[in-house]
Amino acid sequence: MKSIDIKVLIDAKQLEERIKELEKQIEEDYKGKEIVLIGLLKGSIMFMAELAKNITNDVQLDFMDVSSYAGTESTGIIKINKDIRDSVEGKDVIIVEDIIDTGRTLTYILEYLKQKSPNSIKIATLLSKPSRRVVKLDADYTGFEIEDKFVIGYGLDYDEKYRNLPYIGYLE
């Protein structure tokens, strides 16, 4: 296996502390309400699991798998490979994303889910790259804003590898 040089951008302790802050903010915003967390596969898995396990509200988990890439290039065509299983009509939904880059895919998902008549819909993202945004989109809950680097770890991958790193790293 070829070795790559991974630099730590956000260590495990920083991730843990920031996610706990986001949990508290979500609990405050949704006092006494049930929340439906919809994770966008595969990258959101680590963040969503950590986020959900300490929220004291009743939490339902669901997932979507959406693609807009062929290889490393965006096709501009967004395809839903796996839709949510349960109805979100009248429910409070938080879309959980690993990283917001251009914002195109998440904007599409946001509009798609709005058609399913949730009570409310917000976005939680672990990472945001505002310099790459091509559509106006801001998350309601953001872990970290980062520079335009290719990041891996904590759910984010490079050719389906490195998702299991306990930190966010980048390739030099």
Catalytic center residues: 101
Structure-block tokens of residue 104: 């195109």
Measured CA to CA in angstroms, residue 44 lies from 4, 41, 64, 158 at distances of 23, 6, 10, 15
Measured CA to CA in angstroms, residue 19 lies from 16, 82, 165 at distances of 5, 26, 16
Q: Kindly report whether the peptide bond that precedes residue 42 is cis, defined as omega within 30 degrees of 0.
A: yes
Neighbours of 107 (CB within 10 A): 16
Of the candidates 123, 64, 72, 73, the residue with the CA atom closest to the CA atom of residue 93? 123
The answer to whether the beta carbons of residues 33 and 55 sit under 8 Å apart is no
State the burial class of residue 99 (Cβ atoms within 10 Å of its Cβ: 0-12, 13-18, 19+): buried
Map residue 10 onto helix, strand or coil: strand
